[in-house]
Each structure stands twice: as structure tokens, then as C-alpha cells.
Amino acid sequence: MLNNNDGIVLIDKNEGETSFDVVRKAKRLLKKKKVGHAGTLDPFATGLLIILLGQGTKLSSYLMSGKKRYLATMTLGVETDTLDKTGCIVKTVPVPELNPGKVRDVIREFLGDIEQTPPAYSAININGQRAYKLARQGIAVDLKKRTVTINSIDVVSVRLPDIVFEVTCSSGTYIRSLAADMGKRLGSAAHLSSLRRLSSGTFEVQNALSSSLLGAGEKVDIIMASVMSLKDALPGMKECCIDRETAKKIMNGYRPVQHEVACWDPSLDDYKGFIKLTNGLSLVAVMEVDHSLQAEKEWLKNIRIFTQ
């Protein structure tokens, strides 16, 4: 590891704490000024939370864009205002007789691109205020439907009124809304009674440290030893190695042209997307490029630099 002041650490968040609670504990324990996270988990949810340290906070948008995988339990017959077990009951509906085959058939209808309305109790920004703050004040908010992608969804068990399912989905998917919509399609109502994030992008919760360690001063060494470097924090991103001289120029604000960051990989000839520039063990920059553009000055759409 080059510098564990900058990077990410995988945390398994406990139930009952907010994502910000975890960030605050990490900041206090590790004595770092800049700490963030990539992807909020609701307080009642558990599982993988990626904590960003130092310049790792610059990685947020890249890490949050990956697919997410969850294990969830929805309880039929009861709808709450928050769409989870922490809310107030707003509706009770009889639970119809459903066999596992019927449940699986209905839930499979949600595969692919679907439209969903985010929960009123969410962190979406409405005219400068969080939707959940407005909802708590009794102010109705008009949240627009959005298209999300359900890559896979599998029923784990059916023990009515509870249905346990595992889902892989695009970033921005609300599992609470998904459960509510599935409950209606099953002829009832539903809310989430448990939610656990199993993975985010290429990272798995089985490789994460319990958030309980963030409250124990003697565990600092364990946590710091688990910090992943900036370069290793983007394992799925295409990589291009550059020489030290070019790296210095880029870190000083120079925008490179195509031939200066040419990679041996022929798959990059017409590549459009993100590339990480590395020098040795260091992450120099992340570039958004369009290699199909022939003009040297147009191919580089954006660049984010990481100082050493």
C-alpha cells in the first residue's frame, strides 16, 4: 500500500445506525478530516458500506455507479409511510393464499428496466431540502418516477406473510419501493422488514469489517491495515500505465493528448468511458474519454487528478 491516508475501507454496517454515524465514527477514530461514503444505507438496513478516506472521497461517483446486490425480506399485509419496518402503519390488507410458484412468477415480472417512484422518506433533494425532512413535516412531495434496472431477482423463501428475496439492481434502485410494488402485484400490500447489502460493484460484504470496530480505539491498526489504495479501489476500471514524467505534468494540470497515454490493449482503440492512469502503485488520474474521436483535443472529456 502506498499511502493508507487515502483510499477506501469496506465496512459491514450494523442495524440502527445511519451511514453518517459510521462516517462520523471513522473520522473520530482514524483522526482524518476528510471521510465520506459511497451509497447510503437506511438505518434499519445492514451490510456493505464503502467508507472513503482522504482523496478516496473523489472516487464516490465511480464507486456508486456499480450494481448493488441485496438480501431482503418483505412482509405482506401491512404498508408503512416509510415503506419499511420503522414507519407508521398506513394500510393493512389481507394476505391472499400464495404458493411459492405463484410468488416467483409474479416477482419475475419485475426483471429488466422498470419504473419506480422513490419513497417519500428518502434523501432525494427537493428544492434544497431532503425529501424525508419534508415528509416528517407532513409536506407532500411530488417525486417523479425513474427508470431502474433489475438485473436478477430470486425468491429465497416464502413463509407468509414474509417473502425473502435476493436482488441485483442498478444504482439508484429503492428496494423499499420495489417491495411495495411487488406487494401490490401479489394482491396485497408490503413493507421491508429487513434489508442487507451483499455487494456494491465488485466489492463483497464478506470482505468487510464490522462497524462495531469503529467504536474500539484498540482496533485502529486492524482498520488501517484494511484500507485499500486509490488504485486498487477501482478494480473494474480500465487501466493505463504512464511514465513518471507524464504523471508529474498531469498532476500539475496538464491535459494529455492521446498518444501520451496510449495503452497496449487494442480494446481501447475505440473505447468510450473511464480510464485510470497509474504510475507504479499510484493513481494519478481518472479520465473520461472517447477514443472514437479523432481530434486530439476532443477525445478527453473530463479528468480528475489525484495528488501524491
Residues forming the active site: 42
Q: What is the pLDDT of residues 13-30, one digit of tens each?
A: 999 999 999 999 999 998
Q: What is the pLDDT of residues 148-186, one digit of tens each?
A: 999 999 999 999 999 999 999 999 999 999 999 999 999
Q: Which of 91-100, 137-146, 246-255 has the highest mean pLDDT?
A: 91-100
Q: What is the pLDDT of residues 208-237, one digit of tens each?
A: 999 999 987 778 889 999 999 999 999 989
Whether the per-residue pLDDT at 194 is higher than 60: the answer is: yes
Cα separation, 191 vs 72, in Å, equals 10
- Say whether 68-197 and 7-66+202-225 share the same fold: yes
- The pLDDT, as a whole number, for residue 153 is 97
Q: What is the pLDDT of residues 222-281, one digit of tens each?
A: 999 999 999 999 998 989 888 899 999 999 988 887 777 766 566 666 778 899 999 989
pLDDT band at 117 (very low <50, low <70, confident <90, very high): confident
Angle at Cα 146 formed by Cα 144 and Cα 149, nearest 5°? 165
pLDDT band at 1 (very low <50, low <70, confident <90, very high): very low
Superfamily of domain 68-197: Pseudouridine synthase (3.30.2350.10)
What are residue 33's phi and psi, to 5 degrees? -80, -40
In the three-class reduction of DSSP (H, G, I as helix; E, B as strand; rest coil), residue 41 is classed as coil
Full-model pTM: 0.90
The one-letter amino acid at 105:
D
Whether the per-residue pLDDT at 2 is higher than 60: the answer is: no
- Say which CATH class 238-305 falls into: mainly beta
Q: CA nearest 240: which of 255, 256, 262?
A: 262
The lowest-confidence range among 98-112, 223-237, 282-296 is 282-296
Other C-beta atoms within 10 Å of 258: how many? Answer: 17
Other C-beta atoms within 10 Å of 144: how many? Answer: 8
pLDDT band at 296 (very low <50, low <70, confident <90, very high): low
- The pLDDT, as a whole number, for residue 297 is 58
Q: Is the dihedral of CA 125, 130, 131, 134 positive or negative?
A: negative
Taking every pair of Cα atoms in the chain, the longest distance, rounded to a whole number of angstroms, is: 69
Please enumerate, as own/partner, the contacts of 36-42 that have beta carbons within 8 Å and a separation of 24 or more. Answer: 36/60, 38/8, 38/63, 38/64, 38/200, 39/63, 39/64, 39/68, 39/171, 39/197, 39/200, 40/123, 41/13, 41/197, 42/84, 42/176, 42/195
Mean pLDDT confidence for 30-52: 93
Domain boundaries, the chain: 7-66+202-225, 68-197, 238-305
Mean pLDDT confidence for 82-106: 94
Residue bearing the bigger pLDDT, 42 or 130? 42
Calculate the average pLDDT of the chain: 88
Domain 7-66+202-225 has CATH 3.30.2350.10: yes
Cα separation, 79 vs 84, in Å, equals 8
Cα separation, 233 vs 169, in Å, equals 21
CB of 41 within 8 A of CB of 199?
A: no
CB of 214 within 8 A of CB of 29?
A: yes
